[in-house]
């Protein structure tokens, strides 16, 4: 008996978009290039919080199974319309989702459906190596070669929780000095954030704001961004994707770490610390702890995500570039 043919549809209604979630999770679990940033726990709250245009997601079905998904929206400008990925800006990796082995067919079905709607540019950014978005091709699409987009420094991790197998000796010495300085200040405790997600986010927002107060507002100063995280984290945590740590000195919370863990890779997403404790380096202590925990959990990589901040290279991270594709209609 032959396999059912692929059929595609444009999902333009937010209620229908959210109703995809049960099928979406199954597809996300099967997709070889999926990261937490492509999960419904991340992208559904993103759309709820921002909704910056017209929803234009493409779903590809084989029988009753969702086998491809391109979460997209149309941004209408005065002179042109751009087709953009849902999750843009706050997501370090973006991609379409696809069942392994049928990437070419699913990519063609997505392109076929997208060609039926009006847009001037179709932009796929933050595509990781091996992403399904890099394989999209269609005879009617203009020629489009991927170009480098953003550097995501990644640390290959090995060894044990001493970090001797992966972190440079200089950084390990700095980490030990930070630990001694913190201990002189008081009793130090690094603990997972338990219980209510909102309590952890309250601490993260407070500390992230304090960290950036002298350098302009941090990303969490935007109410819509805060609202997004308050919806996303409670959906990520039950799936075992979130990693939330706090550091306290004499019961005063002085640092927060927010990251993810999925398929042998840890992701350091966001953090903050109390500037009054800058000499004790609570942010570095938390990163060292997060790396050690990721080793215990069997991770192979610790991804510092987008941005070439100097501190990432001090941990031994090496740039890995995402790609960008842009199709332009004349």
The full set of domain ranges for the chain reads 6-149+322-328, 158-299
Indicate the pLDDT class of residue 250, thresholds 50, 70 and 90: very high
Write the pLDDT tens digit of every residue in 70-121: 999 999 887 789 999 999 999 999 999 999 999 999 999 999 999 999 999 9
Write the pLDDT tens digit of every residue in 299-311: 999 999 999 999 9
Same fold, 6-149+322-328 and 158-299: yes
Indicate the pLDDT class of residue 3, thresholds 50, 70 and 90: low
Chain mean pLDDT for the chain: 94
Between 77 and 11, where is the model more confident? Answer: 11
Indicate the pLDDT class of residue 52, thresholds 50, 70 and 90: very high
Give mean pLDDT, residues 127-143. Answer: 90
Q: pLDDT at position 157, please?
A: 96
Indicate the pLDDT class of residue 2, thresholds 50, 70 and 90: low
Of 139-153, 170-184, 226-240, which range is least confident? 139-153
- The answer as to CATH 3.10.450.240 being correct for domain 158-299 is no
Residue 156 neighbours by CB distance under 10 Å = 12
Q: What is the 3-state secondary structure (H, E, C) of 155-175?
A: EECCCCCCCCCCCCHHHHHHH
Q: pLDDT at position 119, please?
A: 94
pLDDT at 159 over 60: yes
Q: pLDDT at position 142, please?
A: 85
Indicate the pLDDT class of residue 212, thresholds 50, 70 and 90: confident
Indicate the pLDDT class of residue 330, thresholds 50, 70 and 90: confident
- What CATH number labels 6-149+322-328? 3.40.630
Write the pLDDT tens digit of every residue in 251-282: 999 999 999 999 999 999 999 999 999 999 99
Write the pLDDT tens digit of every residue in 221-249: 899 999 999 999 999 999 999 999 999 99
């Amino acid at each position: 008996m032959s396999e059912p043919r692929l059929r595609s549809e444009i999902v333009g209604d937010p209620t229908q978009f959210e109703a995809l979630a049960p099928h979406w999770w199954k597809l996300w679990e099967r997709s070889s290039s999926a990261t937490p940033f492509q999960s419904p726990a991340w992208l559904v709250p993103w759309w709820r919080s921002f909704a910056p245009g017209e929803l234009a997601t493409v779903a590809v079905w084989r029988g009753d199974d969702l086998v491809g998904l391109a979460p997209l929206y149309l941004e209408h400008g005065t002179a042109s319309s751009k087709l953009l990925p849902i999750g843009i800006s706050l997501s370090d990796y973006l991609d379409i989702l696809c069942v392994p082995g049928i990437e070419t067919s699913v990519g063609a079905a997505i392109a076929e459906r997208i060609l039926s709607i009006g847009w001037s540019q179709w932009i796929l950014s933050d595509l990781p190596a091996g992403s399904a978005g890099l394989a999209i091709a269609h005879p009617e699409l203009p020629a489009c070669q991927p170009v480098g987009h953003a550097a995501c420094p990644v640390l290959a991790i090995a060894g044990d929780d001493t970090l001797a197998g992966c972190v440079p000796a200089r950084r390990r010495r700095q980490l030990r000095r930070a630990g001694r300085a913190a201990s002189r200040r008081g009793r130090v405790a690094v603990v997972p954030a338990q219980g209510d997600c909102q309590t952890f986010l309250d601490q993260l927002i407070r500390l992230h704001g304090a960290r950036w107060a002298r350098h302009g507002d941090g990303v969490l100063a935007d109410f819509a961004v805060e609202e997004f995280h308050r919806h996303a984290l409670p959906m990520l945590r039950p799936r075992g994707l979130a990693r939330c740590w706090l550091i306290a000195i004499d019961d005063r919370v002085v640092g927060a770490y927010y990251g993810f863990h999925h398929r042998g890779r840890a992701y350091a997403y966001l953090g903050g610390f109390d500037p009054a404790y800058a000499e004790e380096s609570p942010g570095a202590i938390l990163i060292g702890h997060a790396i050690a925990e990721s080793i215990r959990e069997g991770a192979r990589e610790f991804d510092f995500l987008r941005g070439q901040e100097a501190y990432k290279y001090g941990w031994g991270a090496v740039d890995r570039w995402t790609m960008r594709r842009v199709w332009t209609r004349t």
